[in-house]
Amino acid sequence: MAEDSGRYKSFTRRALLIGGTQAALLAALSGRLYYLQVVRSDQYRMLADENRISLRLLAPPRGQILDRDGLVLATNQQNYRVLIIPEQTKLGDEEIEVSLARTLDALEPLIPISDRQRDRIVREVSRKRNFVPVTVVENLTWEEFSRVNVRSPDLPGVIPDVGETRFYPQGASLAHLVGYVALVSENDDTDDPLLTLPGFRIGRTGVERMSDLSLRGKAGASHVEVNAHGRVIRELERSEGQPGADLVLTLDSNLQQTTTARLGNESAGAVVMDIWSGDILAMASTPGFDPNAFNYGLAQDEWDRLVTDTRKPLTNKALSGQYPPGSAFKMIVSLAALEAGIVNPGHRVFCPGEVELGNQTFHCWKRGGHGDMTMTSATEQSCDVYFYDIARRTGIDKISEMAKRFGLGTTVDFGLGVERSGLVPSREWKLARTGERWQVGETLITGIGQGFVLTTPAQLAVMTAQIANGGLRVTPRLIKPADPVEEARVDGGLDVEADQDPRSLGISASAMAVIHGGMDAVVNNPRGTAYRSRITQAGFEMAGKTGTSQVRRITEAEREADRGVNEIPWAERDHAVFVGYAPISAPRYAISVVVEHGGGGASMAAPIAHDVMLEAQRLGAARDRRQAAEVDAPPEREG
């Protein structure tokens, strides 16, 4: 009995020990379950959702680019495209490569698929999972897109899709300025997740590039349920993101079209600007190119044609073309001489047609000379001998300082990344550049805008605007200010005298009056070099200055031969230059025109300026009338 009692006690202790151990294990397990399911539930729910739910970026609509009147310069349009999901093309156990080729063969009678596109599709399929859609072709016509939709039931794996693509309704007339978009390349900074999206495009040139971040917008997101292999089951939630901001430019697209059309097929650049606000109203460079071609995909032969064309259609000549200004530089020389007190407006020089300096002869463009010249008549008739004289008296450093004061020799800095600075020479510059001292003969050549001096059409427009407004510094702009107070201030002109304004260039009113009188005479006096290009419409009269810049030194034999422009090879002809402003009674617009190898400023550039400036004033007057009517219109009655 005692033995049985001992066994029972031993069993009871063991049972209690085992039971206690089990209870402890059960309590630990329960505690762990409570910790995982209650305390850490949010974390593990999130991890589970991350395995089940995929976040995918959505490209936002790119902002539009508009002109000053709200006309569209760059917008988005529907992009009819065809995608293909490789795994869905399979029939039975055939290989993906075989099924893909068979499907593309079936598609080809419906839409054009080049060998180059086929190679790209195969490369993309090899790099991606078989359930990821791959673009076959974009920018289809509605007829092509319809054919694919009708046959889609017989084309497994083929998905007709509608996206967005960039479109430039103005075409070549604004290609250099507005620019274009293109696919993201390996060299681009892809910190922005948007840039990783297939087919996403960014600004490559022009305003598209300059304002790419604001035009791009913010990505949207699509939350989709996926299976273990990453295949989409269904969309759970969608946020479209923030569209890119619209951008309003200072351009007048109608004036831009007129300017481009007037330049025609010439290799040329022209700029029209408001002399008070600095608004760029037109900036044309010809010949141009179709920016839509870069978005749709440029064929190799078309690219080869663009890069080998001697007239450089891809170059924005208005900003990066550098040319000797020729006689358009003579106003700067006059101002330098007047402001330095070297000469007065009545200074006279007799022009016999040439002048000797040492063993060199410097010719006037007019054989036999102009006779007795004053500053105004020398500007009117563009007498070279007169400006040889005052340039020699003034010296290169004073001329250089005045040119830089008017913005020559520095970039205009629109932010487009293609501006060139031109060149304003000086003694110091030549010594540093060549190690040689400046020669007096080089001063004479600079006095007529030749030699080392180089300018761009944009710089010449800014220079002319500052002459027209009486010597006030003006900053050119392409984008309209968002602040209406600032807009009203600059558009309303200035209510102080030029020499009292903080933007004053420090030019005396008397000196400016001489320059204005000379530029008026150039266009409106019968002996003026641009008289045949004068504007006769009352209130729209134009003042200006012609220029003809040599691209090479003319030999004495060639001077004697006196060949006509058409007898000279195109690449050896002089550049044609004209700068001007209008209307004379109340200056508002400035223009510069440079035609590469155009011959003469009077015969080629001035007639173009006439037509463009007349149109600028007509458009401006019409805009003023519309705005006045809007202000005077009575408010609409409610109800």
Please answer whether residues 576 and 324 qualify as being in contact, where contact means their C-beta atoms are separated by less than 8 angstroms.
Answer: no
Structure tokens at 387: 């400006």
Higher-pLDDT residue of 230, 468: 468
Predicted model pTM: 0.82
Q: Is the pLDDT of residue 600 over 70?
A: yes
- Alpha helices (H) in 395-455, listed in sequence order: 396-405, 427-434, 440-447
Number of domains in the chain: 1
Residues with Cβ within 8 Å of residue 340, at least 6 apart in sequence: 394, 398
Helix or strand (DSSP H, E) at 169? none
Is residue 583 reached through a cis peptide bond, with omega within 30 degrees of 0 on the bond before it? yes
pLDDT in tens, 540-564: 999 999 999 887 665 555 545 555 5
pLDDT at position 484 is: 58
pLDDT in tens, 286-331: 999 999 888 777 778 888 898 998 999 999 999 999 999 999 999 9
The answer to the question of residue 622 being in a domain is yes
Structure tokens at 271: 């700029």
Q: How far is CA 356 from CA 379, 439, 559, in A?
A: 21, 14, 17
The answer to the question of residue 548 being in a domain is yes
Q: Which residues pair with 547 in a beta bridge?
A: 577
Measured CA to CA, the distance from residue 586 to residue 254 in angstroms comes to 23
Structure tokens at 629: 């009517």
pLDDT at position 77 is: 86
Measured CA to CA, the distance from residue 520 to residue 298 in angstroms comes to 48
Structure tokens at 260: 């481009």
Specify the range with the lowest mean pLDDT, choosing from 56-70, 231-245, 353-367. Answer: 231-245
pLDDT in tens, 525-544: 999 999 999 999 999 999 99
Name the band, by pLDDT with cuts 50, 70 and 90, for residue 380. very high
* Mean predicted lDDT score pLDDT of the chain: 85
The answer to the question of residue 20 being in a domain is no
Domain that holds residue 549: 315-471+507-628
Q: Can you tell me whether residue 73 is helix, strand or coil? A: strand
Q: Which residues pair with 55 in a beta bridge?
A: 223
Amino acid residing at 530? A
Q: Is the pLDDT of residue 460 over 90?
A: yes
pLDDT in tens, 81-100: 888 888 778 777 778 888 88
pLDDT in tens, 161-194: 887 889 999 999 999 999 999 877 767 766 777 7
Higher-pLDDT residue of 394, 99: 394
pLDDT at position 47 is: 46
- The DSSP line for 314-367 is TS-HHHH--B--GGGGHHHHHHHHHHTTS--TT--EEE-SEEEETTEEEE-SST
Whole-number percent of the chain with pLDDT over 90: 52
Name the band, by pLDDT with cuts 50, 70 and 90, for residue 52. low
Please answer whether residues 273 and 280 qualify as being in contact, where contact means their C-beta atoms are separated by less than 8 angstroms.
Answer: yes
Mean pLDDT of 441-454: 96
Residues with Cβ within 8 Å of residue 177, at least 6 apart in sequence: 206, 207, 251, 283, 316, 416, 478
Mean pLDDT of 257-285: 96
Nearest-10 Cα torsion for 167, 168, 169, 171: -140
The answer to the question of residue 428 being in a domain is yes
Q: Is the pLDDT of residue 585 over 90?
A: yes
Burial class (CB in 10 A: 0-12, 13-18, 19+), 608: buried
Measured CA to CA, the distance from residue 579 to residue 572 in angstroms comes to 23
The answer to the question of residue 105 being in a domain is no
Burial class (CB in 10 A: 0-12, 13-18, 19+), 408: buried
Measured CA to CA, the distance from residue 337 to residue 85 in angstroms comes to 75
Backbone region of residue 309 per phi and psi (left: phi > 0; alpha: psi in -120 to 50; beta: other values):
beta
Indicate which CATH number applies to the domain containing 616. 3.40.710.10
Specify the range with the lowest mean pLDDT, choosing from 193-197, 230-234, 470-474, 555-559. Answer: 555-559
Q: Which residues pair with 133 in a beta bridge?
A: none
Measured CA to CA, the distance from residue 334 to residue 519 in angstroms comes to 12
pLDDT at position 41 is: 66
Using alpha carbons only, give the angle 414, 419, 425 rounded to the nearest 5 degrees.
Answer: 120
Name the band, by pLDDT with cuts 50, 70 and 90, for residue 594. very high
Measured CA to CA, the distance from residue 485 to residue 532 in angstroms comes to 42
pLDDT at position 27 is: 78
Q: Is the pLDDT of residue 238 over 50?
A: yes
pLDDT at position 492 is: 47
E strand intervals along 52-111 = 53-58, 65-66, 72-84
Mean pLDDT of 56-63: 80
Q: Which residues pair with 202 in a beta bridge?
A: 182
The answer to the question of residue 424 being in a domain is yes
Q: How far is CA 211 from CA 64, 114, 199, in A?
A: 11, 34, 20
Q: How far is CA 119 from the centre of its chain?
A: 34
Q: Is the pLDDT of residue 497 over 60?
A: no
Mean pLDDT of 62-71: 94
pLDDT at position 373 is: 96
Name the band, by pLDDT with cuts 50, 70 and 90, for residue 489. low
- Three-state SS string over 537-595 comes to CCCCCCEEEEEEECCCCCCHHHHHHCCCHHHCCHHHCCEEEEEEEECCCCCCEEEEEEE
Q: Is the pLDDT of residue 229 over 60?
A: no
The answer to the question of residue 541 being in a domain is yes
Q: Is the pLDDT of residue 367 over 70?
A: yes
The answer to the question of residue 156 being in a domain is no
Q: Which long-range contacts (CB under 8 A, 24 or more apart) does 255-258 make?
A: 255/281, 255/282, 255/612, 255/615, 255/616, 255/619, 256/67, 256/170, 256/173, 256/174, 256/281, 256/282, 256/283, 256/284, 257/170, 257/173, 258/282, 258/611, 258/612, 258/615
